[in-house]
Amino acid sequence: MESITVKTSSKQYPVFIGKQAIDTLPNFIESHVSKANKILIITDEKVATLHLEAVQAVLAATGKQVFTHIVPQGEYAKTFDVYYECQSYCLSQQLNRKSLIIALGGGAVGDLAGFVAATFMRGIPFIQVPTTLLAHDSAVGGKVAINHPLGKNMIGAFFQPEAVIYDLNFLATLPEQELRSGFAEVIKHSLIADRDFYHWLMTNIQDLTKITDEQFFKMIKRGIEIKAAVVEEDEKENGVRAYLNFGHTLGHAVEASMGYGKFTHGESVLIGMVYALKLSQKKQQLVFEYNSFVEWVQALGYRTTIPKHLKIEQLLQLMKTDKKSVTNSATFVLLEQVGAPLLAEMADEDLLNEMANFIER
C-alpha cells in the first residue's frame, strides 16, 4: 500500500491506495478523528450489498457507534430530496459536530455524502472510501455537490475530506460499463498533464475487462498524483483547476440532456473530450493523432459522437451555464499539446458548427 499527501490551503490529508486499504480506517480514525462519537456510513443500494458488511466489520474495532444510511444508486442519489433525507437521518440519530461521515461508494455517493458533511451543523468531518474507478478523480480535491435539473453539480461546496481510503479490492466487482466510465477520467488526466502516461495507456490498455492489479494501481496512483498537484495549486478553481474539466463542458451537457443515470458520467465526458480535441486542432493547431485516439476508445466500447436525438441548441445553452463560464460565451478547456491545456472562450457559431459534425449518423 502507498499513500499520497494532498496539500491544499485549507487542509492536508492522505490518500491511501492498495489492497485491504480499509484496514487502515480504525487506526486513522483513532489518530486523526479520535473525538468522533458516532460514525455514519452513507452508501448506495448496490455497494451496500457488496462491501458494507466488510466496512462495518472494520469500523467495529473503533468501539464507536456506527450507523448506516442507504441511498439510491448512481446520479439518482444526487437530488435535493435524497440530500434532505440524509440530513434528516443525521438529526434523527443525534449526530453532532463531533460525528464522522464515511462516504462508501462511487463518485455520486462521495459527492452527496461530502455535501451532507459540509453542511450538517455547518460542517463535520468525513472520509472518502471510493469503490469505483471513476471515484479516483471525484474523491480527491474536496468538490462536493448535488445536481439540479438545469445543471450538474450546481449546488455544492469545496470541503476537503479527512482522508481518502482507496481499497483496490473493491474494483473487482465493477461491471464493464462502470470501468468504462472511470477510465475516461484516467484518459483525461493523461491528456492534460502527462504525455508519457497517455502513451502508456494507449499501449497497455486494450480491454477494460483485462486490466491487471498492477495496471489499476499505476493508473489510479498517477491519476491521483495529477489531481493532487492541480488541487494544491488551485483549491477553489480560480485558475488551473478548471483544466480538470477537460471534456466536461459538452460532457455535462450530454449527461444532463440524456437524463442523469441514463448515460454514465465518464462516457459523456469521453464524447466531450473527442469534441474538445477536434476544437483544439482547429483553434490551437494541436498536433495529435486524432484518428488513432478515436479508434482506440471506440475499441474500448466508447461512443464518440453526440446521440442523434439531442438538440445542439439545447446542448449549447447547457454549456453556457457551465461553472467555468464567466461571460455569456461557453468556456472550453482545450489543448495546445498533450500535457498543456488552456481555457478559451468559444463563439456560439463555432460550437454549433462543430456539434453539427458530431451528431451520431
CB 59, CB 34: distance < 8 Å? no
Q: Could you give the CA distance from residue 129 to residue 127 in angstroms, rounded to a whole number?
A: 6
- HSE-up of residue 176 (Cα within 13 Å, Cβ side): 7
Query: Is 259 a known ligand-binding residue?
Result: no
Provide the b/e sequence for 210-230 (b: ≥16 CB within 10 Å).
ebeeeebbbbbbbbbbbbbeb
Q: Is residue 361 classed as helix, strand or coil in its secondary structure?
A: coil
Q: Is residue 82 classed as helix, strand or coil in its secondary structure?
A: helix
Q: Tell me how far CA of residue 252 lies from CA of 62, 272, 323, in angstroms.
A: 40, 8, 11
Query: Is 173 a known ligand-binding residue?
Result: yes
What is the DSSP code string of 228-264? HHHHHH-TTSSSGGGGGGTTHHHHHHHHHHH-BTTB-
Query: Is 159 a known ligand-binding residue?
Result: no
Query: Is 265 a known ligand-binding residue?
Result: yes
What is the DSSP code string of 193-211? H-HHHHHHHHHH-S-GGG-
Query: Is 51 a known ligand-binding residue?
Result: no
Query: Is 7 a known ligand-binding residue?
Result: no
CA angle 214, 267, 85 (to 5 degrees): 95
The x, y and z cell numbers of residue 132, run together, are 469505483
Query: Is 185 a known ligand-binding residue?
Result: yes
3-state helix vs strand vs coil in the chain, percent to 5: 55, 20, 25
Query: Is 108 a known ligand-binding residue?
Result: yes
Query: Is 143 a known ligand-binding residue?
Result: yes
The type of residue at 301 is G
Q: What is the 3-state secondary structure (H, E, C) of 21-75?
A: HHHHHHHHHHHHCCCCCEEEEEEEHHHHHHHHHHHHHHHHHHCCEEEEEEECCHH
Q: Which residue has the cell 473487482?
A: 172
Query: Is 172 a known ligand-binding residue?
Result: yes
Query: Is 350 a known ligand-binding residue?
Result: no
Query: Is 77 a known ligand-binding residue?
Result: no
The x, y and z cell numbers of residue 129, run together, are 472510501
Residues marked as binding for NAD(+)? 107-111, 131-132, 143, 152, 170-173
Residues marked as binding for Zn(2+)? 185, 248, 265
Residues marked as binding? 107-111, 131-132, 143, 152, 170-173, 185, 248, 265
